[in-house]
C-alpha cells in the first residue's frame, strides 16, 4: 500500500504573514543574503543549501519575514523568479511533505549511516526540494550533492531488503511541467537516479505555487519523456 494521500489541487499547505518585500544586494556566504531595510543594510538568513544562481543576484526581489536567530533577525522566505516566486526555506520541507503522507509515519529514521526523512510501515520516504526550472523542466540538483546520491544508494539497499523506497520531490516553481535529474551540474547524481529508478525506487514530483503569502499545491508531474 502506497504511503501517500491524495491532496486536491489548489490546496493551501502553508501560510506566512507579515512578509516584507525587499531587494537583494548580495550573498556574502552560503547562509546570508544582504538587503536594505529601513535605510539600514541588514543580514537575512537563507536556509536553502542550493547554489540558487538564477535567483540570488543584485536587484532581484525576495520576501522576508521576522525570525530572530543568533546572528540575524530575518529569514528569506520567497524569492522572485521572473513573474513568480519560489519558496526557499528548507526548515519547512518536512512539515509540507507530511501533509501528503498517511498518518502513522515516523520522522528522521536512521538507516545504517544515513537518515531518511520518513518511514510509514514498510516504506521509507526521502524528501528533496527543487526550484530550478528551465523550459518547463524541473531539475535537481542545482549543485553537486554527495548527500543526495548517498540517500539514493541507501534507498536502493532498502529495496534489496524487501522494503519499499520513495523519493518525494517538492518543486517550488509553478512553471514545472516535468522533471529530469540535472546531469549537467551533477552527472554522478543523475547516473545514480536512474540506477535507483531501475532498481525499483519510486519517485513522486509535486509542484507548488505562491499566492498572497501562502504556498499552494498545484499538481503532480512525471519524468520528462526521453
- Antiparallel, parallel or unpaired: β 84-87 and 61-66: unpaired
Given a contact cutoff of 8 angstroms between Cβ atoms, the answer to whether 168 and 206 are in contact is yes
- Whether the pLDDT of residue 69 is over 80: the answer is no
Which residues have CB under 8 Å from 7's CB, separation 6+?
13, 99, 100, 217
Radius of gyration of the chain (CA): 18
Confidence of residue 156 (pLDDT cuts 50, 70, 90): very high
Pick one of 3.40.1350.60, 1.10.10.10, 3.20.20.100, 3.40.50.2000 as the CATH number of 91-223.
Answer: 3.40.1350.60
Provide the whole-model pTM: 0.95
pLDDT of residue 112: 86
Q: How much is the pLDDT for 68?
A: 83
pLDDT in tens, 121-142: 999 999 999 999 999 999 999 9
User: Residue 226: its pLDDT value, please?
Assistant: 61
> What is the Cα–Cα distance from 138 to 61, expressed in whole angstroms?
22
Question: Would you say the CATH fold of 91-223 matches that of 14-87?
Answer: no
Architecture field, domain 14-87: Beta Barrel (2.40)
Helices vs strands, H then E, count in the chain? 3, 16
Q: Could you tell me if residue 206 is left (phi over 0), alpha (psi between -120 and 50 degrees) or otherwise beta? A: beta
What confidence tier does 24 reach under pLDDT thresholds 50, 70, 90?
very high
Provide the greatest CA pair distance for the chain.
59
User: Hey, where are the domains in the chain?
Assistant: 14-87, 91-223
Q: What is the pLDDT of residues 74-125, one digit of tens each?
A: 999 999 999 999 999 999 999 999 999 999 999 999 998 899 999 999 999 9
Amino acid at each position: 500500500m502506497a504511503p501517500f494521500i491524495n491532496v486536491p489541487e489548489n490546496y493551501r499547505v502553508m501560510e506566512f504573514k507579515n512578509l516584507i518585500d525587499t531587494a537583494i544586494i548580495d550573498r556574502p556566504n552560503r547562509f546570508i543574503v544582504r538587503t536594505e531595510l529601513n535605510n539600514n543594510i541588514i543580514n537575512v538568513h537563507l536556509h536553502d543549501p542550493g547554489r540558487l544562481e538564477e535567483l540570488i543576484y543584485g536587484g532581484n526581489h525576495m520576501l522576508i519575514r521576522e525570525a530572530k536567530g543568533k546572528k540575524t533577525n530575518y529569514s528569506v522566505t520567497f524569492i522572485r523568479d521572473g513573474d513568480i516566486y519560489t519558496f526557499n526555506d528548507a526548515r519547512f520541507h518536512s512539515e509540507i511533505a507530511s501533509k501528503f503522507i498517511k498518518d502513522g509515519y515516523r520522522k528522521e529514521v536512521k538507516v545504517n549511516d544515513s537518515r531518511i526523512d520518513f518511514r510509514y510501515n514498510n516504506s521509507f520516504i526521502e524528501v528533496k526540494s527543487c526550484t530550478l526550472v528551465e523550459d518547463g523542466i524541473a531539475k535537481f540538483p542545482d549543485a553537486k550533492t554527495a548527500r543526495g546520491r548517498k540517500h539514493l544508494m541507501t534507498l536502493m539497499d532498502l529495496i534489496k531488503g524487501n522494503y519499499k523506497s520513495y523519493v518525494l520531490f517538492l518543486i517550488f516553481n509553478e512553471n514545472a511541467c516535468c522533471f529530469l535529474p540535472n546531469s549537467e551540474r551533477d552527472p554522478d547524481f543523475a547516473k545514480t537516479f536512474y540506477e535507483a529508478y531501475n532498481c525499483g525506487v519510486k519517485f513522486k514530483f509535486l509542484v507548488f505555487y505562491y499566492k498572497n503569502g501562502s504556498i499552494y499545491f498545484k499538481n503532480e508531474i512525471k519524468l520528462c519523456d526521453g
